[in-house]
């Protein structure tokens, strides 16, 4: 029996009934109480409630510290739930009324079905630019599920064909390593869905209140840790996939077409040793309510942050020994990007270190974390329903304690890791098995036009598998070295260039689709990004920054954060028509959050804000100091003051060369390095100080 320590006035009988049988430890002879206002989790991990006597008088505050065994909320006072929670509960595990709505002649489905079809991998959309008087231009976006971004040759060719036949002729690569297919009409949904399923693809759980696509490094390296990271991503996707069968009932008439599931995944899903499962339910992990909100997982290896690991609900880092054999995993929890403008209760958050588990325990601890979010995540307000708010409210110690109860073991201390670095994997690389791979930059992830046609020809001709990266790019895998020249030439002819010919700004930039299809978008992102990046480069050129210098720019049309703008060195978040909230100060390796620098900056005013800060960076940075690091070090106050006083870049005054003795130059170089300056800047500083003293 778990122990609860209670401060205040309570009766053992009344409290025990409310918390599911916890043993009560209390002071002698307190008066009884008949009601309390509901437990509220305090930041220190305690629970608190106001207590009333049987006559209605307030008799004090009840505080519970370390309520241990997870129990379902009391059924005597049903908690408030959002409308979506009711829809899920009444849907017969995601079937109704979606099945009926798909059979109507209307071009759309009703609101209940709109919520359910998300779990099947689709969003109902309305093209704002095709609307007519009195009617909306309804269409559907489909999103695939591709753990690690892995796309077999056959599936790529099918997706390419479906885009032309039933979509808008483009394929969109997403920031979670999947395809999005836009413009599908309701009458074609079943045809498109069944084609994907029958070619060993899936859209199940690509959207909705379940585990979404599991990220892992897209590089097809054959080293043990990279291969294992991708295998684990696949296993986690299987473990947490919906099980009740509605997906196959609706889209392929009940025929379940899936890959064979590893035995350890099946065993882990069915294990209910510590109360993670619903007994005798077709959804053993999710139950009738599924999760409170979407859930995101990423797996990576030490040093590789191509997956933005700290932005996920769960981040996993593979820990190997000196021979490359996997020993266990470091685990982060509580990351997430979504927020709401001018609602300070919502915020982006980096994941915290939870700890380390051995190799054989990873499926069980992930399941325990999911169960914790399932049972304790808020279901009354969807803006506050992500797991990051549970971790923030409880603190990592309490969160870990509850997870351990579902896990049945103690989680070990976090293992030391090397610094993370962003990896794009663009260009040609050795795979490690004699073959090579080619990472292609795809602007904003949109494959279209002649580039789409040429890509299909190359992938079909050479029978290549492809991987989608978390930066909206594409990797051609298993290329024989003798094919390199032909592939490079064919793709360069349609503008798919080697990375050395692409502006570094574009290499790391990302944007979400936004207008005109996303119903949440309030500003341009994908369509506006090319021009914005050109303007950023023009500003950098104007202030004297080199063409090789860059920064991470990410743009979204709303605050939901699909392109992870809050991790960028420069993030633009749409907050109105042609208006953006500017976020600055993120790290180039995506390990530090940016912060809000300015609100409601009109698109035509970007230069007035950014050019001065770029010049300040160029003039006052330490050697090799990135833009995000510079802004973070200087602080927003100093940057805003610089903007107010900025009159344009100063032209350098040249009066011929200054020649120094070699030993003097060497001494200056050492002193300059200590202050993070170039020799020229340090010498100018020393001479200016000397001249000022001489004048006085």
Q: Encoding tokens for residue 689?
A: 């100080």
Query: CA 485, CA 176: separation in Å to the nearest integer?
Result: 30
Classify residue 515 by its DSSP letter.
Answer: T
Share above pLDDT 70 across residues of the chain, in percent, rounded to a whole number: 86
Using the predicted structure, report yes or no on whether residue 43 has a pLDDT greater than 50: no
Which residues lie below 8 Å from residue 629, measured CB to CB, with a gap of 6+?
587, 588
Phi and psi at residue 27, to the nearest 5°: -75, 160
**pLDDT class of 3 with cuts at 50, 70, 90:** very low
- Does 507-645 match 98-407 at the fold level? yes
Q: Can you list the alpha helix ranges (DSSP code H) found in 126-245?
A: 153-166, 189-198, 224-239
Query: CA 655, CA 638: separation in Å to the nearest integer?
Result: 31
CA-based nearest residue to 38, from 29, 28, 47:
47
Specify the residue for token string 């794009």: 424
Intra-chain end-to-end CA distance of the chain, in Å: 81
Buried b / exposed e along 159-180 (16+ C-beta atoms within 10 A): bbebbeebbbebbbbbbbbbbb
Q: Give the architecture-level CATH label for domain 507-645.
A: 2-Layer Sandwich (3.30)
pLDDT tens, 528-553? 999 999 999 999 999 999 999 999 99
Confirm if 62 and 48 have CB atoms less than 8 A apart.
yes
- How many Cα atoms are found within 13 Å in the side-chain-facing hemisphere of 233? 31
Q: Encoding tokens for residue 176?
A: 């979670």
Return the domain boundaries, the chain: 3-65, 98-407, 427-501, 507-645, 662-695
Count CB-CB contacts under 10 A for residue 187. Answer: 11
Q: Higher confidence at residue 92 or residue 690?
A: 92
CA-based nearest residue to 286, from 303, 262, 269:
269
CA angle 250, 202, 457 (to 5 degrees): 125
Using the predicted structure, report yes or no on whether residue 81 has a pLDDT greater than 80: yes
Q: Encoding tokens for residue 319?
A: 């820990």
Chain centroid to Cα 71, Å, comes to: 30
- How many Cα atoms are found within 13 Å in the side-chain-facing hemisphere of 40? 10
Torsion of CA 254, 255, 256, 258, to 10 degrees: -150
Count CB-CB contacts under 10 A for residue 60. Answer: 16
Share above pLDDT 90 across residues of the chain, in percent, rounded to a whole number: 80
DSSP letters of 467-493?
Answer: EE-TTS-EEEEEE-GGGHHHHHHHHHT
Question: What is the length of the chain?
Answer: 696
**pLDDT class of 658 with cuts at 50, 70, 90:** low
pLDDT tens, 406-422? 999 999 999 999 999 99
List, in sequence order, every residue forming a beta bridge with 333; answer none if it has no partner: 314, 352
Chain centroid to Cα 288, Å, comes to: 26
CA-based nearest residue to 613, from 631, 629, 597, 635:
631
H helix or E strand, kind and range, residue 367: helix 362-376
Least confident of 37-51, 344-358, 555-569, 638-652: 37-51
Least confident of 104-113, 130-139, 654-663: 654-663
Crossing angle for the helix pair 387-394 and 396-407, nearest 10 degrees?
120
Q: If you average pLDDT over every residue of the chain, what do you get?
A: 89
**pLDDT class of 652 with cuts at 50, 70, 90:** low
Query: CA 57, CA 72: separation in Å to the nearest integer?
Result: 29
Query: CA 60, CA 469: separation in Å to the nearest integer?
Result: 56
Q: Is 282 exposed, middle or buried (0-12, 13-18, 19+ CB in 10 A)?
A: middle
Least confident of 53-62, 90-99, 368-377: 53-62
Specify the residue for token string 């036009």: 449
**pLDDT class of 663 with cuts at 50, 70, 90:** low
- Strand segments, DSSP code E, in 448-578 are 466-468, 474-479, 510-511, 553-556, 570-576
Residues catalogued as catalytic? 143, 212, 294, 296, 512, 518, 558, 562
Torsion region of 661: left, alpha or beta (phi above 0 gives left; psi -120 to 50 gives alpha): beta
Strand 122-126 and strand 352-358: the pairing is unpaired
Count CB-CB contacts under 10 A for residue 134. Answer: 5
H helix or E strand, kind and range, residue 118: helix 111-119
Specify the residue for token string 């990135």: 626
Q: Encoding tokens for residue 637?
A: 């106050």
- pLDDT for the residue numbered 686: 81
Averaged pLDDT for residues 33-43: 37
Confirm if 121 and 144 have CB atoms less than 8 A apart.
yes
pLDDT tens, 685-694? 788 777 767 7
Which residues lie below 8 Å from residue 477, measured CB to CB, with a gap of 6+?
220, 431, 435, 437, 464, 465, 466, 467
- pLDDT for the residue numbered 164: 98
Q: Give the architecture-level CATH label for domain 98-407.
A: 2-Layer Sandwich (3.30)
Chain centroid to Cα 518, Å, comes to: 18
Phi and psi at residue 297, to the nearest 5°: -130, 140
Query: CA 604, CA 94: separation in Å to the nearest integer?
Result: 46
CA-based nearest residue to 557, from 526, 536, 593, 582:
526
According to CATH, the superfamily of the domain at 427-501 is Sulfite Reductase Hemoprotein;Domain 2 (3.90.480.10)
Query: CA 456, CA 451: separation in Å to the nearest integer?
Result: 9
Least confident of 204-213, 240-249, 645-654: 645-654
**pLDDT class of 128 with cuts at 50, 70, 90:** very high
């Amino acid at each position: 029996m778990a122990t609860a320590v209670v401060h205040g006035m309570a009766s053992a009988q009344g409290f025990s009934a409310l918390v599911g049988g916890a043993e009560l430890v209390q002071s002698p002879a307190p008066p009884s109480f008949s009601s309390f206002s509901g437990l509220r989790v305090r930041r220190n991990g305690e629970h608190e409630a106001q207590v009333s006597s049987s006559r209605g008088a307030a008799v004090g505050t009840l505080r519970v510290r370390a309520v241990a065994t997870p129990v379902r909320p009391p059924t005597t006072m049903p908690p408030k739930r959002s409308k979506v929670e009711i829809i899920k509960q009444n849907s017969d595990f995601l079937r109704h009324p979606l099945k009926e709505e798909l059979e109507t002649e209307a071009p759309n489905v009703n609101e209940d079905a709109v919520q359910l079809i998300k779990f099947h991998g689709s969003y109902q959309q309305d093209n704002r630019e095709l609307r007519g008087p009195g009617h909306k231009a309804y269409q559907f976006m489909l999103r695939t599920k591709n753990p690690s971004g892995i796309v077999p040759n056959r599936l790529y060719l099918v997706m390419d064909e479906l885009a032309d036949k039933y979509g808008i002729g483009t394929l969109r690569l997403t920031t979670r390593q999947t395809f999005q297919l836009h413009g599908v009409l309701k009458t074609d949904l079943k045809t498109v869905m069944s084609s994907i399923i029958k070619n060993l693809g899936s859209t199940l759980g690509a959207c909705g209140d379940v585990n979404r696509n599991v990220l892992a490094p897209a590089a097809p390296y054959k080293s043990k840790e990279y291969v294992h990271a991708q295998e684990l991503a696949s296993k986690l996707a299987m473990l947490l996939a919906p099980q009740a069968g509605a997906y196959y009932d609706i889209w392929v008439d009940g025929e379940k077409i899936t890959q064979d599931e590893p035995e350890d995944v099946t065993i882990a899903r069915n294990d209910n040793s510590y109360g993670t499962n619903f007994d005798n339910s077709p959804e053993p992990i999710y139950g009738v309510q599924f999760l409170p909100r979407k859930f995101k997982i990423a797996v990576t290896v030490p040093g590789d942050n191509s997956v933005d690991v700290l932005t996920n609900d769960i981040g996993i880092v593979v820990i190997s020994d000196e021979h490359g054999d996997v020993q266990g995993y470091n685990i982060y929890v509580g990351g997430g990007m979504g927020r709401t403008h001018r609602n300070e209760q919502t915020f982006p958050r980096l994941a915290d270190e939870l700890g380390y588990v051995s190799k054989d325990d990873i499926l069980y601890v992930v399941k325990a974390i999911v169960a914790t979010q399932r049972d304790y995540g808020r279901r009354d307000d969807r803006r506050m329903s992500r797991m990051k708010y549970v971790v923030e409210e409880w603190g990592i110690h309490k969160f870990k304690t509850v997870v351990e109860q579902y896990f049945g073991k103690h989680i070990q201390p976090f293992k030391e890791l090397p610094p993370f670095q962003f990896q794009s994997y663009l260009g040609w690389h050795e795979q490690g098995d004699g073959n090579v791979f080619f990472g292609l930059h795809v602007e904003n992830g949109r494959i279209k036009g002649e580039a789409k046609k040429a890509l299909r020809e190359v992938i079909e001709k050479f029978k290549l598998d492809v991987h989608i990266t978390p930066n909206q790019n594409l990797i051609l895998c298993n290329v024989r070295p003798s094919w390199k020249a032909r592939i490079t030439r064919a793709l360069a002819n349609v503008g798919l260039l080697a990375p050395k010919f692409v502006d570094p700004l574009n290499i790391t930039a990302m944007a979400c689709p936004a207008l005109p299809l996303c119903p949440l978008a309030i500003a341009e992102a994908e369509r506006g990004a090319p021009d914005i990046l050109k303007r950023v480069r023009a500003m950098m050129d104007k202030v004297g920054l080199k063409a090789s210098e860059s920064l991470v720019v990410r743009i979204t049309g709303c605050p939901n954060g699909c392109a992870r703008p809050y991790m960028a060195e420069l993030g633009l978040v749409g907050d109105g028509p042609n208006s953006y909230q500017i976020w600055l100060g993120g790290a180039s390796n995506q390990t530090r959050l940016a912060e809000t620098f300015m609100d409601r900056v009109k698109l035509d005013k970007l230069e007035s804000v950014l050019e001065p800060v770029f010049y300040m960076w160029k003039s006052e940075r330490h050697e090799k100091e990135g833009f995000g690091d510079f802004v973070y070090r200087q602080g927003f106050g100093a940057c805003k003051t610089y903007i107010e006083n900025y009159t344009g870049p100063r032209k350098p005054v040249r009066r011929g060369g200054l020649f120094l003795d070699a030993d003097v130059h060497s001494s200056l170089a050492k002193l300059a390095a200590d202050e993070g300056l170039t020799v020229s800047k340090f010498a100018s500083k020393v001479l200016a100080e000397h001249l000022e003293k001489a004048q006085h």
